[in-house]
Amino acid sequence: MLTPKEKNLLIRLQKSETIQYKEFPDMLYNVRYEIAVSEMMDYNMNDIAMFIRQEFAKEDTDGSGLIAIIQCNEALKRCK
pLDDT at residue number 48:
80
Cβ(6)–Cβ(35) under 8 Å? yes
User: Are 21 and 8 in the same domain?
Assistant: yes
pLDDT at residue number 42:
67
pLDDT tens-digit readout, 2-60: 999 999 999 888 888 888 889 889 999 999 998 888 877 766 777 788 888 999 999 99
Q: Is 31 exposed, middle or buried (0-12, 13-18, 19+ CB in 10 A)?
A: buried
pLDDT beyond 80 at 72: yes
Query: In the chain, how many domains are there?
Result: 2
pLDDT at residue number 49:
82
User: Are 14 and 35 in the same domain?
Assistant: yes
List the domain range (segments joined by +) for residue 68: 45-78
